[in-house]
Chain A
Amino acid sequence: MAGSARVAAATLITALLATACSQGSATRTEEPAAGGKVTLRYFTFSAAPDHVKDLDTIVAAFEKENPTVDVQVETAPYDQYFTKLQTSIAGQTAPDTFELNYENFVTYATAGSLLDLGAAGGDTDTSGYATESLNAFKHDGKQFALPASFSTVVLLYNKDLFEKAGVPLPTADWTWEDEQAAAEKLTADGVYGDFQPVTFFEFYKALKQAGGEFMAGGKSTFNSPQGVKAAKWLVGKVGKTMPTEAEIGGTADFDTNLFKSGKLAMWHNGIWQFAGLKDVPFAWDVVVEPGDSQKASAVFHNSVAASTTTKHPREAYAWAKFLSSSNVAATTRIASSWELPPVSDQAVLQGYLKDPVPANRQAVFDSLDSIALPPVIARQQEMQDAVTQELTEAAAGRKSVEEALTEAASKVDALLG
């Protein structure tokens, strides 16, 4: 027994030593590649699958301007992206530069994983950016990320289906009632009138449309008459004008395929879908989302940040700046309908309107007049999951909307601590 105790002690010490060593050696020294070229890794979720080529265009232009830098693009789908990013940071193999959305920016900035780009670049010219976008990615007065793109959610609709059913086309003045009345008329013969996912993201927006607040003073405030109204609006569509969870059967991109196959009349989705709808065999257009007591549109902001562990801060800054504000980047994004560049130059943005499909592109800019930003807390993902789960329960009829909201509120309050 004494022997085995000694062995155990030795094992433990070896283990501790090994851990210590592995941490020491994990800070690898990267040799510059042949010819003094610097390899810069960039990790992104917004490029794949529709815009990899467009990103390549931007990369090629950047490498032409900076012949000593070789940008290596790595992509992951959104639902796996943050797992991979976290793990690579923990494993000390973080990419030099990576994409961050607004909801996750705060987490990474507070964690100290982000390079202060203002200091790294040594140049503070930010005149090219829209000020609001720039400020969204400031933390403690430091610019930890540069805004790279933004997108909004609109109501996409199948014009042919509306005309066939003799229902007047949606307008910017529509409210929930108009949408519901149209959806009911359009739902028939395997066609669904409406599709709006029952999730946290749709809920906080609908809540604002109903005139409610998600939280205030460190406590949730969504379990209110407005909250009930918003939740009922979302939940009430399921099984009536929209397929149920069982009918969707967990199929990936169910809504996208439904719309593309001409079996969905109205679709609440983002402008990033435009490119994928180029070749559909029917006429479609967009309009600002109907509101209730007021209009509110969801805006998603993506940025590019650099890791504190990068060996090439100057190059990382140059790339971040090029990707977010260069003319090539802005025009490429606009020409391919790949979200919008957060540039201050209105002339560049006007180029977005030139594309003839969808005709009412102006709605994208109009939707920016009254926006709903997602509530952001430290335990963001847990909050999103809790709200989505309770709403799903209500949508499946296993709970009343009131019960679901009460439970969601108590969960969110617990997360707010």
Chain B
Amino acid sequence: MTLTEVPAPAAVKQPVRPPRKRLRYALTVAVFLLPSAVPLLLFTLIPMAGSLWTSLHEWNLITPMKWVGLDNYADLLASEETRAAFGHTLYFIAGYLPLVYAGGLGLAMLLNRAMKGRDLFRAIYFLPVVTSWVVVALLWKWLLNPASGIVNWAIGLVGLEGPGWWTDPDWAMPSIILASAWKDLGFVMIILLAGLQAIPNEYLEAARVDGANAWQRFRRITLPLLSPSTFFVVVISLINGFQVFDQVHVMTGGGPAGATQVVVEQVYNLTFKYGRAGAASALSWLLFAVVLVVTLIQVRGQRRWVNYG
């Protein structure tokens, strides 16, 4: 994401090598870089350049491209659909991020204690993370089926009527948020668990000796020392949140009544349903710009609250 160069520490003296040795050294470095550089070039950088080029054209995939300059961007910025798509995406993030962080933190705290079957539980909670999104989305679609799902059946047992989940525009996004948080909980848990285990016990013990209660210890010691992990989780989850697609596509396809039409779903529709690949590429670049700005703000803002001890 960020392409900042890390300058070599000045204290390390670069050994002076004869030209032939330097060439060998460069070649060695190149060989080691190749396995990651080639896929990056082939599957990320070249397609990105291609999509930038496409975004300046009108293209329905079957006719030759027609140059339109920045028209696609102008159309998108003026269109209500674009605003709605970004609005739905922000709605998703606003629901998903707190839920997945709070849930992940809670699990990490629970599983950081000595208890029976701890490893088993860690594995169980991590299982959805390594499961395919299509599988998880279908599973939740069945669970939350308004007519025959087990969730509404259970709600019916206590005499209430379950909502229309993904068929009701008011409930569709909460359904997707629920499924997404459930799937990513394990990922957040693992990262935070690692962060928790890096916190020296001495600090907590010292605080306890000084009379700090559990809440004070959590608030004044654990949370600040966990902030690098929190920062990482928030950055990654935000980027994932902006790119939300699989679960939306499988569970609602952007419906009902466009209530879950997020940005990437819109990109998909523009390309494959409406034959407007140029506009879709332009929308991808708008999304890229938004994610870049948000990430830069976070990286700058981290100085204020991230504590690297």
Question: Is B164 touching A246 in the complex (CB atoms < 8 A)?
Answer: yes
With CB as the reference atom, state the residue of chain A lying closest to B272: A83
A250:B166 contact, CB within 8 angstroms: yes
Residue B41 is within 8 A (CB to CB) of chain A in the complex: yes
Q: A245-B256, A249-B146, A249-B148 given as contacts; is B61 within 8 A of A379 (CB)?
A: no
Cβ contact within 8 Å between A389 and B257: yes
Which residues of the partner chain B approach A396 to less than 8 Å between Cβ atoms? 256-257
Q: What string of 1s and 0s marks CB contacts (under 8 Å) between A113-156 and chain B?
A: 10000000000000000000000000000000000000000000
Q: Interface of chain A, helix or strand or loop or mixed?
A: helix
Interface size class of B (residues with CB under 8 A): 20 to 34
The answer on a CB contact under 8 Å between B167 and A246 is yes
> Given A15-B46, A16-B49, A112-B63, is A83 in contact with B273 using a C-beta cutoff of 8 Å?
yes
Chain B residues in 8 Å Cβ range of A379: 274
- Using C-beta atoms within 8 Å of the partner chain, give the interface range for chain A: 35 or more
Q: Give bound CA distance, A406 to B94, whole Å.
A: 33
A217: min CB distance to chain B, Å:
24
Separation of A4 and B63 alpha carbons in the complex (Å): 37
Assess whether A86 is in contact with B62, with CB atoms less than 8 Å apart.
yes
Once A11-B45, A249-B167 are accepted as A-B contacts, the answer to whether A392 and B62 lie under 8 Å apart by CB is no
A113 to B148, alpha carbons, bound, how many Å? Answer: 45
Residue ID in chain B nearest A83 by CB atoms = B272
The 0/1 profile, CB within 8 Å of A marked 1, for residues 136-158 of chain B is 00000100011111000000000
A389:B164 contact, CB within 8 angstroms? no
Contact string against B for A residues 68-108, beta-carbon threshold 8 Å, 1 for contact and 0 otherwise? 00000000000000010011011000000000000000011
- Across-interface contacts of A65 in B (CB, < 8 A): none
* CB-defined contacts of B5 to chain A, threshold 8 Å: 1, 4
A377 CB to closest chain B CB (Å) equals: 12
| Cβ-based interface call for A382 (8 A) | yes
A11 touches B257 (CB 8 A): no
What are the residues of chain B within 8 A of A248 when measuring CB–CB? 147
B257 touches A398 (CB 8 A): yes
Considering the chains assembled together, what is the distance between the CA atoms of A251 and B60 in angstroms? 31
Q: How far is the CB of B282 from chain A (nearest CB, A)?
A: 17
Binding site for A on B (CB under 8 A): 5, 41, 45-46, 49-50, 60-63, 141, 145-149, 164, 166-169, 255-258, 272-275, 277
**Beyond A15-B46, A87-B272, A111-B62, 12 extra complex contacts between A and B, CB < 8 Å:** A4-B5, A11-B45, A15-B50, A19-B49, A90-B62, A107-B62, A110-B63, A113-B62, A247-B147, A248-B147, A381-B274, A382-B273
15 CB contacts below 8 A, A to B, read A11-B41, A15-B41, A15-B45, A83-B272, A90-B61, A108-B62, A111-B60, A111-B62, A113-B62, A245-B164, A247-B146, A249-B149, A250-B167, A382-B274, A389-B258
